[in-house]
Every structure is written in C-alpha cells, then in structure tokens.
Amino acid sequence: MATITAVYHGSRSGLFALIARAANAAANGNGGGDLADEIGRGVRLRMGVALLSQVQQAFLEKSRGGTGSDGIKWKPLSPATIAQRRTTADERRSLGITGRRERGLLTPAQNRRWKGIFASRLAKLMAQGMAAGEAKAIAAKIAWAVLKSEGAQTKLAVLGSRKVDIGRDTGILFRSLTPGVEDRPSGSPDQIFDADSPGAVIVGTNVAYASDFHKVRPLWPDTIPPEWMRAVNAAAARGIALGLAKLIAAGG
C-alpha cells in the first residue's frame, strides 16, 4: 500500500489553518495553486469511486431480486422476456434442448409441419376476406396450438421459468458502473465520470438503453441514501487527510 507520511512542526492554530486549507482545496480545488487543484481533484475522484461502488453493489442485489441498499426493489422480468434471454450450451443440454432448432425450439421436422399448418390456415382465412395481418396472427396461433398438442417444446414453456439476473444479459450496463479503487476510477467503457469541475463530481452511465432501463428499474434514487453518503464522506475524509499530509510535506 502506498502511503504519505508527514510530521507537522508548528502551532495548534497553524495546524487548524492547514486543515481548513486542505478542506477548502477539497471542496473547490481552485485559487490555491497546483497543489490545491491536485488535492481537490483527488478528493472528488475518491468520492466518485465510492459513489459508483454503492451504485454497483445495489445493482447486483436488485438484479438478483433483492432490495438494494437504496431501498429499491426492481420489477421482475416477465416469463416472455426471460424466455428470450441467451442460453449457454450447458444450459440447453440440461433442459433437453439438443440438435438443430429452426423456429424457437422446433426441430426441422416440426418446423416444416408448422409451416404447412400456417400456410393452410392462412389461405382459408384470406379466402374468407380476413385482413392479411389478422389472418397471419390467427394462422400462427393455430399452428402453435397444434404443435404444442403434439408435444413440441416452446421457449416460453421451457425457458420462461429460469432464474436469471435482471439487467445482466450482456453485462454492458453493469460493467459501465464499475467503480475502480480509491482515486483511480475504472475507466470502464460507457461510464460517465467527471471530477474536473470544482465542488462537484458527476458519475453515471452512457449506455444507450440506460435511460429507458432506469425509468422502469431505477439504478439509483432521486436522493443519495444516507448509507451511500457515509461511504462517500469517508472517501472524502481520506482524501482530505492525504491532502493535509501533502500540504505539511510541502511546508504548508
């Protein structure tokens, strides 16, 4: 672990003045020279990393169906959505899904039968004057009903009841919130991390679908939870302490 050690030789009032200067540099990071800017940015980096850490930890808990440290519990995925999630080779084998599949989980032979039923029903419905869109929907429904009655597997029936993590199908959104360590952000792709503005740090994600996801399953609440703020304040305190050590080492 890299550390900075400095011994202060001065008055009590002088020490308090240095502490105030370090705190001011942490809050503003301007007007005090290069060292003040360095201290301020270092504190903001730590605060941003700490906040992202809380966001990602809560994300993980919520994705598994629990309530995050932000007090938020996400809406479960529908069976239809779960059925469309990707499967691994091992998972397909364990579910008895083997061989070639052409339409959902239909075998080539079943798919040929599906097409035959669909075409026959569609022709009859169209001949009766039904609109093409409605006729296709009804014909497909009939075809699926027949195939299911004959034992054909469907994605909804076989895959829809699986236990999967919410929001982690590709992992892109989750990785975009990877925090980093102390004052070293992860630099994760699609991540927003701005610690260059005095007095503020901005963190978030640039993933294209993040806003829509957030509307249905919030990544964070409107107000930062007390538990998260304790972690952020602790990170800021570490940064201020290191900043104070640097000021002392530089001769105040």
- pLDDT tens-digit readout, 39-81: 788 888 998 999 999 999 999 999 999 999 999 999 999 999 9
Helix (H) or strand (E) holding 124: helix 108-127
Tell me what the mean pLDDT of segment 9-21 comes to.
Answer: 55
- Judged by average pLDDT, the poorest of 19-28, 160-169, 212-221 is 19-28
Tell me what the mean pLDDT of segment 115-128 comes to.
Answer: 96
pTM of the model: 0.77
Q: Which of 121, 109, 120 is nearest to 150 (CA)?
A: 109
Average pLDDT, the chain: 86
242 or 198, greater pLDDT: 242
Q: Which of 193, 167, 165, 188 is nearest to 178 (CA)?
A: 188
Q: What pLDDT does residue 204 have?
A: 93
Tell me what the mean pLDDT of segment 79-95 comes to.
Answer: 88
Query: Residue 99: is its pLDDT beyond 80?
Result: yes
Reported in sequence order, the residue ranges of the chain that DSSP labels E, i.e. its strands, are: 180-181, 184-185, 191-194, 202-205
Q: Are 152 and 110 in contact (CB under 8 A)?
A: yes
Give exposure, 118-129, as e/b (b: 16+ Cβ within 10 Å): beebbeebeeee
Query: Residue 138: is its pLDDT beyond 60?
Result: yes
The DSSP secondary-structure symbol of 103 reads B
Q: What pLDDT does residue 21 have?
A: 60
Q: What pLDDT does residue 190 have?
A: 94
Q: Are 51 and 232 in contact (CB under 8 A)?
A: yes
